[in-house]
A = this chain, B = another copy of it.
Amino acid sequence: MSTVTALPEQIVAAIRAVVGPEPVALHEPSFTGNEWLYLKECLDSTFVSSVGKFVDRFETDLAAFTGARHVVAVVNGTAALHIALKLAGVKTDDEVLIPALTFVATANAVTYCGATPHFVDSSMPTMGMDAEKLRAYLTGHTEQRAGQCINRVTGRVIRAMVPMHTFGHPVDLDRLLAVARDFNLVLVEDAAESLGSYYGGQHTGTFGQMGTLSFNGNKTITTGGGGAILTNDAELARHAKHLTTTAKLPHAWEYRHDEIGYNYRLPNLNAALGCAQLEQLPAMLASKRRLFQHYQAAFASVAGVKLVPEPERCQSNYWLQTLLLDATVSSQRDAILRASNEAGCMTRPAWILMHQLMPFKDCPHMDLTNAESLSQCLINIPSSAGLAS
């Protein structure tokens, strides 16, 4: 049996060497702290809904952890992106630059504003937006008119760019911020996957005008469903809170709403879970880093695959551990996915690229060679913090 034909089995064996013989999920939460205590306290208070001490505390605790000056807790990461884009000024018929390699929520949130996503290629080491390739593309395809970046092909305003920190690995923020500045684009960070990830020592999601987090059940910490908006701008934070709470003006009994708002507030019940999870986050991050090291050791002897390490000058939360297949073996991707999933080791490929999805097939995009290559070569393997504790 050649090495090539045995690759799927070698990969399953390397994963098993790290995670043991039991069936293992791609990512599952662990509730080993005050989760039950806080849920019970929340229930006993009867404040389970849109107001309560846990939702306020969760915002304060997230601000302390991330260093963001202001945090607004919302029902999920998609809602956070929707509001951040609205506050970035994204309007009907605008375009917004987002990675082709991302979860569909990034693209959906753009459409909720009536705008069109415009897909950007990835850099290989970060898997996120490629700053220099984007700069060259914008130089060739856009012009500045009255301080706005105009797509010369479509004639539409490109209003904003939304880099996403893929699987927890930070994008090249310095270069992307320079592109945003030079082309008059608002930069919103989709940090759904990167709670606990740092670029040059500063937490992701705090570099752009706003950043967004997700606490879905598959994320590093979970609130069941939940998300948050981060910003250092007090007025944007006030407006985000207002829009996410039906835009109701404060009054003892009057229901007056001064703009079209949303029912996006994170319930206090979900925030209670979040407060307990956040207490566990430093330990989880340490576990996830150890898991990466264990995998690196286990895969050292497997030819043709390597783990994607955190980019230089960055600290990743290692949300999802990522294998990259060499071009010589990437044709075996589906065989590896089948073998591992059949063996009870849950693995998955990259998301189908955004421009290949039916609802976005007519959206503009640049050359996507790197994203296409990553989408063929990339496999996420079991990543729960509990696997290395």
Contact = CB atoms under 8 A, between A and B. Distances in A.
Given A49-B225, A257-B358, 6 more contacts: A36-B43, A77-B263, A111-B260, A114-B114, A224-B270, A253-B349
A280 interface: no
17 contacts: A28-B46, A31-B46, A35-B43, A104-B257, A105-B263, A108-B262, A225-B265, A247-B359, A252-B337, A253-B348, A253-B349, A255-B351, A255-B352, A258-B358, A259-B358, A259-B359, A269-B273
A217 B48 contact: yes
A218 interface: yes
Interface in A35-81: 35-36, 39-40, 43-44, 46-51, 75-79
Give me the 9 closest cross-chain CB pairs, A-B, nearest first: A49-B217, A224-B267, A224-B269, A78-B263, A253-B348, A225-B267, A255-B351, A48-B224, A76-B263
Grouping DSSP codes into helix (H, G, I), strand (E, B) and loop, the A interface class, with mixed when no group exceeds half, is: loop
A246 B105 contact: yes
B252 A216 contact: no
Contacts of A260: 108, 111, 359
Interface residues of A, number: 65
Contacts of A111: 260
A112 B243 CA distance: 14
Contacts of A252: 337, 341
Given A76-B263, A349-B253, A225 B104 contact: no
Nearest to A40: B36
A36 B270 CA distance: 14
